Amino acid sequence: MIKKLLILAGALLLIGVIPTQAQKKKEVANDMNTPLHLLQPDYKVPYGMLSVKEVKADMDRVLHYLDQATPARVIDKNTGKQITDYKQMNAHSVLDKGLFRLASYEWGVTYAAMLAVGQSTGDKTYTDYTMDRFRFLAEVAPDFKRLMNDYGVIDPQMKQLLTPHALDDAGAMCAAMIKAQLADKQIDLRPMIDNYMNYIMYKEYRLSDGTFARNRPQQNTVWLDDMFMAVPAIAQMGKLTGEMKYYNEAVKQILQFSKRMFVPEKGLYRHGWVEGMTDHPAFHWGRANGWAILTMTEVLDVLPENHPGYEEVLKQFRAHIRGLAACQSGEGFWHQLLDRNDSYLETSATAIYVYCFAHAINKGWIDPVAYGPVAQLGWHAVSTKINAKGEVEGTCVGTGMAFDPAYYYYRPVNVYAAHGYGPVIWAGAEMINLLKQQHPKMNDSAVQYYSTEQATSEPIFSVSENRWNQVVSGSSRKAENAPVVFLIGDSTVKNGKGEGDGDMWGWGDFFDSFFDRSRISVENHALGGRSSRTFFTEGLWDKVLPGIKKGDYLFIQFGHNDGGPLNTGRARASLKGIGEESETVIMERTGGPEEVFTFGHYLRMYVRQAKAHGAKVILLSPTPGNRWTEGRMNRFTDTYAAWAAEVAHKEGVYFIDLNDLSATKFEAMGADKTNGYYKDGVHTTYDGAILNCKSVIEGLMKLTDCDLNQYVDKAAIGKEYRINNKERKNTP
């Protein structure tokens, strides 16, 4: 009986009726004291935040391993002794056989990746890895060529370098060497580069229209791999020489490969295409698709944007990106066959995609919000395949072409498959660049990408509808008791991202340049197109207010957008005046009611709520528009300027008549010269914004009882200004 009960209990455990110890622990952790939506998922790979330090540590393990595994020296194969005088080399002289070949296409990828890490981190060790081995190959090449002439047989790696017989022999190494040559003019790799390029351009087999092809496994077979084995080197040669023929050839090859091999309905490339076949089986092999997207990435990097083929290549690149993103697995990897989820998860393809997605975001080709989390999840997955020794696991070995799925499903994986190392290093380099440019943060337990740092510690938070102008609270506070100057307003305070797009700037972009930044900071929360009404109704003020503390300062400037319709179109107008009257309107956009108040009502609301938080408030009149009547600039004397002044007086806060201060300056220089300070009737150029900013400071300094003046850097008033110390852009 006892035996039967034990058997029954075991069966119940197997089917989950009786919980296991692990399940019991999980249930305890996920008890009712934790909100259900915050329960921790059981992810198979790391998920969440990622640091530059973590990425660099992973890459350093790989570098250390490869540095030991790939010696760069010549030995006598009979004695094993090193040869340092290359003139004494003989028929027995070979390269020291490390774990990986120094002149293979896999190592061409690795060399380019090492250069990228050197650029992204400043760690010269990575750059030296490539440069040292290229100098070695350049130095020994002439003597191996002598031996080849004398004996006909030499080290296979050197023969591949000196007399390439396939694109695999030439393209990746050539592209990496060109990058090294461009980076360091002291190294002379040109003889090897020219030798490689001569083979690629003039000796490789092609179809009748010039598309690179092979005669295996069938006659006139196009391999997707050959996009990468040739085209990036050709494009890089265009950059090296400035000759347009190379750019033209690179674009032609991409478009001709894509015409035959891209499957639009899936957004993926087939691995092979055979001329003469009626049907072309579409096996979407992961690494081959990696070579394709990497090719387009490399070409777009150097192809002049005014080249007639640039937009077409970029369009094809984006179509492929969309197809690849749709195939990422929940573990962050991509499958060996991308659209067949029962094929195994593969490392090298995943790493290539991580690099290309991250690089495309960094270059502005694709949306960081859509694709940043894809890249980050992919890197988390890749990092789990870097073992303690620095070996890369889970990489498919070299793979030919087949027309049945079993071939791809059962290709072996091995740590000595060289294809994984370069992509992993390259992916890490670009993830570091990505983390420096973007600001990923967990929001509602998910990784989200933001263009500005999100200071909130809340597990779930909202941001502005314009993600380029996200409102963060207190993010720049120097210390707990250090004041912050908050700015709210419209595009005349901050236009767009605040980076001068279209040579339109707001005065708030320069405001921090006038202060001692070691003691005080400025947060510009103004947002283009907003009025005194919509800055409140769209929830922007609700994100600023929580960050305001006692001792802070608030500058308020509205008026330019407070006219117009109340309920149609952009529907941002406030009622005229400063009274407490209101009007309920039916909003065209939503069909619902909204109570609209006066301009003065909204200003009072900002003033009173900021004062309740302990802030000192400065109200400003709007900046002057570039409109003139009989030699004088039109002012808002009877409207928004007057109403702002009246609210300031009644609420007992400071007022700066920015409109009059700047208009007086513009009138002194005349209408014609003033035109150079405006892009249109309202928005200012760099110089116009600087003039308005100086007017604000001038008005501030006249407020003798305002203690904000103690933080003004008086030495800065007569200087040229930069946004956050960056070089001036879009100079008029």
CATH number of the domain enclosing 87: 1.50.10.10
Does residue 467 lie in a domain region? no
| Alpha carbon distance 403, 389 (integer Å) | 37
Active site (catalytic) residues: 491, 680, 683
- Helices assigned H by DSSP within 47-121: 52-69, 105-121
pLDDT at 720: 53
Using the predicted structure, report yes or no on whether residue 367 has a pLDDT greater than 80: yes
Poorest-pLDDT segment among 227-236, 502-511, 616-625: 502-511
Say yes or no to pLDDT of 27 above 90. no
Is 254 in the same domain as 359?
Answer: yes
Integer Cα distance of 555 and 319 in angstroms: 46
For residues 384-412, give the mean pLDDT: 97
Q: For 433-470, b where at least 16 C-beta lie within 10 A, e where not — what string?
A: bbbeebbbbebeeebbbbebebbbeeeebebbebeebb
Question: In this structure, are 29 and 58 located in the same domain?
Answer: no
Q: Is 344 inside any structural domain? A: yes
Neighbouring CB atoms inside 10 A of 676's CB total: 11
Q: Would you state the pLDDT for residue 31?
A: 54
Among 390, 416, 443, residue at a domain's last position:
443
pLDDT at 9 over 60: no
Quick one: what percent of the chain has pLDDT higher than 90? Answer: 83
CATH code (residue 592): 3.40.50.1110
Q: Quick one: pLDDT at residue 469? A: 42
Give the pLDDT of residue 725: 37
Could you tell me if residue 125 is inside a domain?
yes
* Same domain (yes/no): 231, 113: yes
User: How much is the pLDDT for 21?
Assistant: 45
More confident residue, 7 or 284: 284
Which residue, chain included where needed, has tokens 């956050």? 724
Q: What is the pLDDT of residue 13?
A: 45
* Residue 168 · residue 142 · CB < 8 Å: no
State residue 482's pLDDT score: 85
Lowest mean pLDDT among 21-35, 182-196, 299-313, 497-511: 21-35
Tell me the per-residue pLDDT of 598-631, one tens digit each, with 9 for 90 and over.
999 999 999 999 999 999 999 999 999 999 988 8
Please state, rounded to an integer, the average pLDDT across all residues of the chain.
91
Where does a domain end: 422, 443, 464?
443
d(CA 21, CA 24): 5
Q: Which whole number is the average pLDDT over 281-295?
A: 97
| 189 and 330 in a common domain | yes
- Residue 464 confidence class, pLDDT cut points 50, 70, 90: low
The pLDDT, as a whole number, for residue 20 is 46
Quickly state the pLDDT bin for 498 (edges 50, 70, 90).
confident
- Is 667 part of any domain? yes
* pLDDT tens for each residue of 558-599: 999 999 999 999 999 999 999 999 999 999 988 999 999 999
Q: Is residue 455 part of a domain?
A: no
Q: 129 and 262: one domain?
A: yes
Half-sphere exposure of 334 (CA within 13 A, CB side): 30
User: Of 389, 415, 443, at which residue does a domain stop?
Assistant: 443
> Do 298 and 170 belong together in one domain?
yes
Q: 364: alpha, beta or left, given left = phi > 0 and alpha = psi -120 to 50?
A: left
Question: Do residues 26 and 127 share a domain?
Answer: no
Low-confidence winner among 267-281, 316-330, 687-701, 708-722 (lowest mean pLDDT): 708-722
- pLDDT for residue 475: 54
Q: With bands split at pLDDT 50, 70 and 90, how would you rate the model's confidence at 32?
A: low
Given a cut of 60, whether residue 473 has pLDDT beyond it is no
Q: What is the CA radius of gyration of the chain?
A: 32
Q: What is the mean pLDDT of residues 227-243?
A: 98
- My answer on whether 61 and 20 are in the same domain is no
Asked whether residue 554 is assigned to any structural domain, the reply reads yes
Residue 24 has a pLDDT of 43
Q: What is the pLDDT of residue 142?
A: 96
Q: Kindly indicate the confidence band of residue 470, based on its pLDDT and cuts at 50, 70 and 90.
A: very low
Q: Which domain holds residue 525?
A: 487-725
| Between 23 and 557, residue with greater pLDDT | 557
What pLDDT is recorded for position 90?
93
Residue 263 pLDDT > 70, yes or no?
A: yes
What's the confidence (pLDDT) of residue 6? 46
Q: Are residues 206 and 235 in the same domain?
A: yes
Per-residue pLDDT at 382 exceeds 60: yes
7 part of a folded domain: yes
Q: What is the mean pLDDT of residues 377-405?
A: 97
User: Is 647 domain-assigned?
Assistant: yes
pLDDT at 476: 63
- Residues 145, 13, single domain; the answer is no
Task: Give the three-state DSSP class for 316.
Answer: helix
- Identify whether the C-beta of residue 620 lies closer than 8 Å to the C-beta of residue 526: no
Can you give 173-218 as a three-state secondary structure string?
A: HHHHHHHHHHHCCCCCCHHHHHHHHHHHHHCCCECCCCCECECCCC
166-194: per-residue pLDDT in tens? 999 999 999 999 999 999 999 999 999 99
pLDDT at 486 over 60: yes
Q: How many domains does the structure of the chain reveal?
A: 3
Is the pLDDT assigned to residue 533 strictly greater than 90? yes
CA distances from 169 to 106, 156, 426 (A): 10, 11, 21
* pLDDT higher than 60, residue 490: yes
pLDDT higher at 82 or 28:
82
Q: Which pLDDT score is estimated for 517?
A: 84
Residue 301 shares a structural domain with residue 377: yes
CA dist., res. 561 & res. 556, Å (int): 14
User: Do 104 and 6 have their domain in common?
Assistant: no
pLDDT for res 718 = 62
Name the 3-class secondary structure at 521.
strand
Say whether pLDDT at 34 is over 80. no
Task: Give, as one character, the DSSP assignment of residue 708.
Answer: G
pLDDT at 487 over 80: yes
The DSSP call for residue 393 is P
**Who's near 592: CB < 8 A, 6+ residues apart?**
586
The predicted pLDDT at position 722 comes to 45
